[in-house]
A = this chain, B = another copy of it.
Amino acid sequence: MVRIKSDEVDRDNSVDKVEQILQGAMQEFLQNGYAGTSMDRVAVAAGVSKATVYSHFQDKEGLFKVLLEQLASKKNNSIFGTEPIGKEPAAVLHHLGTKALDLMNSDQEHTAFMRVLIGESGRFPELAQICVRAMIKPVAETLTQYLAAPELNIPDPEATARILLGALVHFHITQDVMHGRDIIPMESDRLIDALIHLITKRAD
């Protein structure tokens, strides 16, 4: 009777291994993309054997999907933590924009995640859709709420939210993801100030 009856130990070990594997997979997939990553390297990065990887995940595609879905929910909460609507809209928008750009800028993991997500959206369309649902949609809805404030007097807050979101994310893509900082330099503050100016149109 060598078999272990208790689920406790069994499950704990499994969870640890699964966590290790996902950690190694993240490192490799985010750095090299889907096709550029080998299961051998994932196993090495995770500190387990390749057979162990296959005992916890069906195949390379299954591992990739689980990893990206997990990352999508993580990134969602990190960038736009639901902000208390204390101050006036202009101040809130300035705070949100600055925070979002700073976070995306400083988070190498997020930059690599954007590359992989967009790069593999042709091969894994349903995965891209999951990320749109988990990351972009909630942020767009939150921004829409802010922009619907009566004093802003915006006729289409939903479309304006997409503009605001697009300006911030595309700025991150050009400056960080595509390494354009030296080619088309611009301070984050200038972008945000111009955004605030457009949105809180000076009725003076």
Query: Given contacts A115-B118, A166-B167, A178-B129, are A193 and B159 in contact (CB under 8 A)?
Result: yes
* A-side interface size class: 35 or more
Distance in angstroms between the alpha carbons of A179 and B125 in the assembled complex: 7
Query: Given contacts A32-B35, A118-B178, A166-B166, are A186 and B158 in contact (CB under 8 A)?
Result: yes
Residues of B within 8 Å of A174, CB to CB, are 132, 136, 162, 166
The DSSP consensus for interface residues of chain A is helix
> Across the interface, do A178 and B132 meet the contact criterion of CB distance under 8 Å?
yes
Residues of B within 8 Å of A47, CB to CB, are none
Partner pick for A118 among B114, B160, B186, CB 8 A cutoff? B114
> Across the interface, do A180 and B129 meet the contact criterion of CB distance under 8 Å?
yes
CB of A191 within 8 Å of the partner chain: yes
Copies of this chain, count: 2
A177-204 vs B: 1/0 string, CB under 8 Å?
1111011101000110111011101100
- Most-contacted residue by chain B among A31, A132, A156 (CB, 10 A): A132
Min distance, Cβ A187 to any Cβ of chain B, angstroms? 9
> Across the interface, do B119 and A120 meet the contact criterion of CB distance under 8 Å?
yes
CB of A103 within 8 Å of the partner chain: no
Residues of B within 8 Å of A156, CB to CB, are 190, 193-194, 197
> Across the interface, do B163 and A198 meet the contact criterion of CB distance under 8 Å?
yes
- Residue in chain B with minimal CB distance to A31: B122
Min distance, Cβ A114 to any Cβ of chain B, angstroms? 7
> Across the interface, do A118 and B173 meet the contact criterion of CB distance under 8 Å?
yes
The interface of chain A, by Cβ under 8 A from chain B, is 31-36, 112, 114-123, 125, 128-129, 131-133, 136-137, 140, 155-156, 158-160, 162-163, 165-171, 173-174, 177-180, 182-184, 186, 190-191, 193-195, 197-199, 201-202
12 inter-chain pairs at a CB distance below 8 angstroms, sorted by A residue, are A33-B35, A33-B122, A33-B123, A36-B123, A115-B120, A117-B178, A121-B178, A128-B177, A129-B179, A137-B184, A160-B194, A166-B169
